[in-house]
Chain A
Amino acid sequence: MIEVKDLTKYYGPTLAISRLNFEVAQGEIVGFLGPNAAGKTTTLKILAGYMPPTAGSAAVNGFDCIGQSRDVRHSLGYLPENVPLYTDLTTAQFLDFAARAKGLEGSRRAGEIDRVVAECGLTEVRHTLIASLSKGFRQRVGLAQALLGRPPVLILDEPTIGLDPAQIVEIRGLIRELAGAHTVILSSHILPEVSQLCSRVIIINHGQIVASDTPANLTRQLGGSARVRLAVGGPEDAVLTALSGAPGVRKALAEGGGTFTVEVEPGVEVRPDLARLLVGRGWDLLELKAQEFTLEDVFINLVTEEDVHP
C-alpha cells in the first residue's frame, strides 16, 4: 500500500532523511517512532504529496507521490502535525469544505459528514466556530477531516499529542477500529501508544531507520538478553560474587540496599538455580523477579549511544 525507496530529503544543506526504505501492507497499522527532528514529519509530508523528496521515490496505493500526486491525495486522509484548521469556519462548514474538496457529492457527502461527526464525537460542537474549540476537539475535527470519504490510506502525524488522558484513550480506540479497512501510518513519540496500536514499528533516528519490526520482536531482540532483579539479605560483596559466578549469568550488578540486577543468557531459566544458590548459602532471599524490556528500552537503546543498562 505504501512503498518507500531510498527516500532522501535535504532542507538546504541539512539532511532530514537519508535513504529510507520501507513498505506498509494493506490493513496494517504502522507506527513511526523517533525523537524530535528524527525525520518523521518530513517523511509523512512527502508521502502526503505536500513536498517532493530530494531523491528516491515514494508510492501510495500504487501511485507515485510526485508524478501522480493527485491520485495519491485522492487515496489518502492526512492529519498534519499541529492540526491546521480554518478557525473562521464552524466544524460543519469545515467538514463540508473538506468533503467537497474530496469530490464527495450530494447525499453521499451529507452521509459521510454525519458519519465522521458521530465517529469522532463532534455532535455537540458541530455548529461551533473552530476558533473556540479546545485542543482535543480540534484534534478530532482534524481526524474527522482525514476520515471523510473512507480513504484507503491514513497518514496521521502525532494524532494524540496535546490531548488529555481520556481523549487519548478515545482517539486510540478510534484508530484501532480503523485497522483492516484502512492502512494507517502514524507517527508518535509516545511509546506505549505505539506498542498498543501498531502491528509494526519503524524506529527512525537522525533520518535513518534503525529498526523495523513488531513491538514484541523488537523487545525480544534487544541486547539478546533478559534481566532478573533480586533483593537479598546478606553481605553485598559475597552475594555479588556468588551471583556473578552462577551458571547462565552474564553480568551481576549491585544496586545498593541489598538489591541486585542480573543479566542472563536469553532463553535460559536461571531463577530456580539462583534461588537455591542464595538460600543454600544461608542468605535471605527477599525478592526475585524477571524483568522484561519495554519498547521504551528498545527505543532508548536504539536512538542513544549510551548503554541503558545500569
Chain B
Amino acid sequence: MSGCLAVWRKELMVYFSTPIFYLTGVVFLLLGGYFFYANVAYYTVLSFQAGQNPYLAEYLNPAGMVFRPLMVNLAVIFLFIVPLLTMRLLAEEKKNGTAELLFTLPLTDWGIILGKFLAALLIYLILLLMTLGYAVGLAFITPVDWGGILVGYLGLVLLGGTFLALGLFSSSLTENQIVAAVITFGLLLFFWVTGWFQEIGAVRWQGLFKHLSMLDHFEPFARGVIDSRHLVFFGSMMYLFLFLTKRTLESRRWRG
C-alpha cells in the first residue's frame, strides 16, 4: 500500500497543526464528562433508594446503569463530531487545488483513501481513549465489569470507523466543507434513526430499515455482547463507504 503511510503522516500533521482536533477534543470531553457524571449521579441516587427496595437492588450495577447508557451517549456525541473531523479530508484538497498535487504524486487511490481514513481513525481513537479515564476513575470506588466495558469500546471503534468512512465518502463528493459536513450528518442521522420506522410500524420494508440501523447494531456492544452479525455489519459498511470513495475519486479519470 504505497504512499498510504506518507498520506497518513501528512494528515496527522495537519490535524495536529490546526485547531480542529483540539477544539473537537475539548467539546467532546466536556460533553462526555457531563454524561458520565449524570449517569453516575443517577446511579448513586438509585443506590440510596435501593436500600429500601431490595427488588431494585438486583438490577443495580455500574455496567447497566452507567456504562451502557454512556456508550450510547458517546455514540450520539460522535454523531455530531465526526462530520467535523472528516469534512475537510477531501473537500479541502479540491477547494485549495492541492488535489492536483496529491493526485499527480505517484500514490494509489487506495493509498490516499486509507491514509486519510486511518489518520482520522487515530484521531478518533485518541478522543475515545481519553474517555477510558471515566471507567478507571470509577473502578477506584466500585468494582466494574472490564470485559463488558471493553466490548462497549470495541463497538464504539467499529461504529466510529463506519462514521468516518461515511464522512470521508461525503467529503469526496464536494469541494465545500460545509456541504460535506451536512451530507455526513444527514446520512449518519438517517442510519441512526432508521430502526425507529419499525417501532412506528407504518413503513413497508421495515425489516430492511431495521437491518440498516447503526443504533440497533451498536446496542448489543453497549450491553457487552459480541455478535458476529454486528461485526460483519460494521465491517461491510466501512468497506462499502471506502469503496464508494474510491469510485468517486476514480470518476475524475473517466468523467468530462
Indicate if the CB atoms of A101 and B253 lie closer than 8 Å.
Answer: no
Compute how far the CA of A80 lies from the CA of B96 in the bound complex, rounded to whole angstroms.
12
Shortest Cβ distance from A80 into B: residue: B100
Q: Which of B4-12, B67-75, B227-235 participates in binding chain A? A: B4-12
Indicate if the CB atoms of A100 and B3 lie closer than 8 Å.
Answer: yes
Indicate if the CB atoms of B14 and A73 lie closer than 8 Å.
Answer: no
Indicate if the CB atoms of B106 and A101 lie closer than 8 Å.
Answer: yes
A22 at the binding interface (Cβ < 8 Å): no
Indicate if the CB atoms of B98 and A97 lie closer than 8 Å.
Answer: no
Q: Which residue of A11, A73, A87, A89 is within 8 Å of B106 (Cβ)?
A: A73
| Residue positions of B touching A, CB distance < 8 A | 2-3, 5-7, 9-10, 13-14, 17-18, 96-101, 103-108, 252-254, 256
* Chain A residues closer than 8 Å to B256, beta-carbon distance: 10-12
Q: Which residue of A52, A86, A87 is within 8 Å of B10 (Cβ)?
A: A86
List 19 interface pairs A-B (beta carbons < 8 Å), by A numbering.
A45-B100, A48-B104, A51-B253, A52-B253, A52-B254, A73-B107, A78-B104, A80-B100, A84-B96, A84-B98, A85-B98, A86-B10, A86-B98, A89-B10, A89-B17, A97-B9, A101-B6, A101-B107, A102-B105
Shortest Cβ distance from A93 into B: residue: B13
Known A-B contacts A86-B10, A93-B13, A101-B7; the reply to A80 vs B101 at CB < 8 A is: yes
Shortest Cβ distance from B94 into chain A, in angstroms?
Answer: 10
Indicate if the CB atoms of A73 and B17 lie closer than 8 Å.
Answer: no
Indicate if the CB atoms of A100 and B106 lie closer than 8 Å.
Answer: no
Shortest Cβ distance from A88 into chain B, in angstroms?
Answer: 5
A50 at the binding interface (Cβ < 8 Å): yes
Give how many A-B residue pairs fall within 8 Å (CB-CB).
76
Most buried by A among B5, B96, B108: B96
Q: Which residue of A73, A86, A88, A129 is within 8 Å of B104 (Cβ)?
A: A73
Q: Count A interface residues, CB 8 Å.
A: 34
* Chain B residues closer than 8 Å to A101, beta-carbon distance: 3, 6-7, 105-107
Shortest Cβ distance from B123 into chain A, in angstroms?
Answer: 15
* Chain A residues closer than 8 Å to B10, beta-carbon distance: 86, 89, 93, 97
Indicate if the CB atoms of B6 and A97 lie closer than 8 Å.
Answer: yes
Indicate if the CB atoms of B100 and A84 lie closer than 8 Å.
Answer: yes
Main secondary structure of the interface of B (DSSP, over half): helix
* Chain A residues closer than 8 Å to B105, beta-carbon distance: 73, 98, 101-102
| Residue positions of A touching B, CB distance < 8 A | 10-12, 45, 48-52, 66, 69-70, 73-74, 76, 78, 80, 82, 84-89, 93, 96-98, 100-103, 129, 145
Most buried by B among A87, A101, A102: A101
Shortest Cβ distance from A66 into chain B, in angstroms?
Answer: 7
Compute how far the CA of A51 lies from the CA of B2 in the bound complex, rounded to whole angstroms.
21
Shortest Cβ distance from B100 into chain A, in angstroms?
Answer: 5
* Chain B residues closer than 8 Å to A100, beta-carbon distance: 3, 5-6, 9
Indicate if the CB atoms of B9 and A80 lie closer than 8 Å.
Answer: no
* Chain A residues closer than 8 Å to B14, beta-carbon distance: 86, 88-89
Indicate if the CB atoms of B106 and A102 lie closer than 8 Å.
Answer: yes
A-B contact sample (13 more), CB < 8 A, given A84-B101, A101-B107: A48-B104, A49-B104, A70-B106, A70-B108, A78-B104, A84-B96, A84-B99, A89-B13, A100-B3, A101-B3, A101-B6, A101-B7, A102-B106
Indicate if the CB atoms of B6 and A80 lie closer than 8 Å.
Answer: no
Compute how far the CA of A45 lies from the CA of B99 in the bound complex, rounded to whole angstroms.
12
Shortest Cβ distance from A138 into chain B, in angstroms?
Answer: 12
Compute how far the CA of A97 lies from the CA of B11 in the bound complex, rounded to whole angstroms.
10
Shortest Cβ distance from A39 into chain B, in angstroms?
Answer: 15
* Chain B residues closer than 8 Å to A103, beta-carbon distance: 2-3, 106
* Chain B residues closer than 8 Å to A84, beta-carbon distance: 96-101
Compute how far the CA of A87 lies from the CA of B181 in the bound complex, rounded to whole angstroms.
22
Compute how far the CA of A78 lies from the CA of B13 in the bound complex, rounded to whole angstroms.
23
Known A-B contacts A84-B98, A86-B98, A101-B7; the reply to A50 vs B103 at CB < 8 A is: yes
Shortest Cβ distance from A174 into chain B, in angstroms?
Answer: 20
4 closest cross-chain pairs (CB), A and B: A100-B6, A84-B97, A101-B105, A73-B106
Compute how far the CA of A233 lies from the CA of B51 in the bound complex, rounded to whole angstroms.
123
Shortest Cβ distance from A48 into chain B, in angstroms?
Answer: 5
* Chain A residues closer than 8 Å to B17, beta-carbon distance: 88-89, 129
* Chain B residues closer than 8 Å to A86, beta-carbon distance: 10, 14, 98
Compute how far the CA of A145 lies from the CA of B5 in the bound complex, rounded to whole angstroms.
18
Compute how far the CA of A11 lies from the CA of B99 in the bound complex, rounded to whole angstroms.
19
Known A-B contacts A84-B100, A89-B13, A98-B105; the reply to A51 vs B252 at CB < 8 A is: yes
Shortest Cβ distance from B107 into A: residue: A101
* Chain A residues closer than 8 Å to B108, beta-carbon distance: 70
Shortest Cβ distance from A112 into chain B, in angstroms?
Answer: 14
Shortest Cβ distance from A8 into chain B, in angstroms?
Answer: 13
